[in-house]
Structure formats: C-alpha cells, structure tokens
Amino acid sequence: MALGNIKEIQISQLVSAVKNNDTASFVELLGIFSKTVSSLALTFHLPDSEFDDLCQEGRMALYRAAISFDSTKGASFSTYASVCMTNAMISFVNKYNASVSGFIADGESVISNIAENDSPDNTAFSKQFRELLSTQGFAGLSESERKTVFLKVCGYKTQEISEKTGKSAKSIDNTLFRARKKLRKFIDSEK
C-alpha cells in the first residue's frame, strides 16, 4: 500500500473521530495540516501582524471541513479541506481589505478638518499620517495602532484616548510610539 494511501486512511479515521467530538483527533489532524495552513496563509499579502489571525481562520475552516466532510462526494478530505481553508482565508482577506479601505477613507476626511493651529507634535504626526494614507502604508499598522492613531489625529489627547479605548495612558503612549516607528519606517522605505 502506498504511503499516500496510508496517510489518507489515517486522515479519514481522524475526520470520523472529529465528527464524534474527539478533540485529540482534531489536534492530530491539525498537526498533519499545519504546514498546509501556514503555506496557504503565506500566499496572501497581508501585514505580518495579521498572519496569526489568517492562520486561525484556516484552522477553524479545517475544523468545519472535518465536521461537514462527506466522503461519498468523490473528493479526498485533503482536497476538500484545502478548498475550505482557501475560501475562509480569502473571505478574511476581503474583510480585512474592506476594513482598511473604509478606515482610510474615514481618516482622510478627518485629516482634512484638522485645525491649522494644532500643536507642533500633532501637526507633525498629522503630516506623517497624511503621507501614510496617501501611500496606503496604513495597512502595516495593527488594528489597535490604527484606532489609536486615528483618535490622535482626530485631536484627542492621550488621556482621552485611554478613556475611549479602556487602555492605560502608558499603553496608548507605547502604541503611538510603535505606530510612529512603523510609519517612519514605511515612509523611509518609499523614498
């Protein structure tokens, strides 16, 4: 019996066990498909900060594939699971891109309303933010960084951002520092 056939039989047994709520079997199945999940995730062009979330989407799709797999349809589980994981990742990427695009559009309208007599720190930050928006480099920031930067550009002080987000003022300062660092790195790389 060929090695591929033995592996498919093992996978088939694991899928049957997963359908019977055997979590240990899913962990084993996940081990078999972990490289596939990572390889699929690497084919999408997202910021590194989103890689783990994309892989998680793939793992959840693998579980749903194991639960819904019907061997009478003629496809192997490996093929079926790959299609399910790819579709889940495409959906994630589409949602991510839509959220970034919408956030960028909101940011551009807010930036155009920033007062001319803003503090020098906010003015410099706003200029960098405008440059980042214009080059689409904004996607390199994490969701937390995007929200914090957006509030800062809107004119909120650190303490106000802290209250709005439920994070400490020190955490907000650290987030802004990381965002500025990423922003400067992105702008420098574009020159």
Q: Which residues lie closer than 8 Å to 84 by C-beta, 6 or more apart?
A: 61, 62, 64, 65
Mean pLDDT of 21-45: 89
Count of Cβ atoms closer than 10 Å to residue 11 Cβ = 20
Count of Cβ atoms closer than 10 Å to residue 102 Cβ = 10
Residue 28, classed as helix, strand or coil, is helix
Mean pLDDT of 167-172: 90
Report pLDDT for 131: 52
Question: Are 100 and 139 contacting, i.e. CB atoms less than 8 angstroms apart?
Answer: yes
User: What distance in Å separates the CA atoms of residue 133 and residue 167, rounded to the nearest whole number?
Assistant: 25
Report pLDDT for 68: 92
Q: How would CATH label the architecture of 114-190?
A: Orthogonal Bundle (1.10)
Given a cut of 50, is residue 72 above it in pLDDT? Answer: yes
- Nearest CA to 153 out of 186, 191, 105, 121 is that of 121
CATH topology of domain 3-97: Rna Polymerase Sigma Factor; Chain: A (1.10.1740)
User: What distance in Å separates the CA atoms of residue 147 and residue 152, rounded to the nearest whole number?
Assistant: 9
Percentage of the chain modeled with pLDDT above 90: 20
- The pTM of the whole model exceeds 0.85: no
Q: Which residues lie closer than 8 Å to 71 by C-beta, 6 or more apart?
A: 12, 77
pLDDT digits (tens, 9 = 90+) for 139-158: 677 778 877 877 776 667 88
Count of Cβ atoms closer than 10 Å to residue 188 Cβ = 8
User: What distance in Å separates the CA atoms of residue 90 and residue 146, rounded to the nearest whole number?
Assistant: 22
Domain map (residue ranges) of the chain: 3-97, 114-190
Given a cut of 60, is residue 183 above it in pLDDT? Answer: yes
pLDDT bucket at 170, cuts 50 / 70 / 90: very high
Handedness of CA 13, 35, 145, 167 (dihedral sign): positive
51-63: burial string, b at 16+ Cβ within 10 Å, e else: eeebbebbbebbb
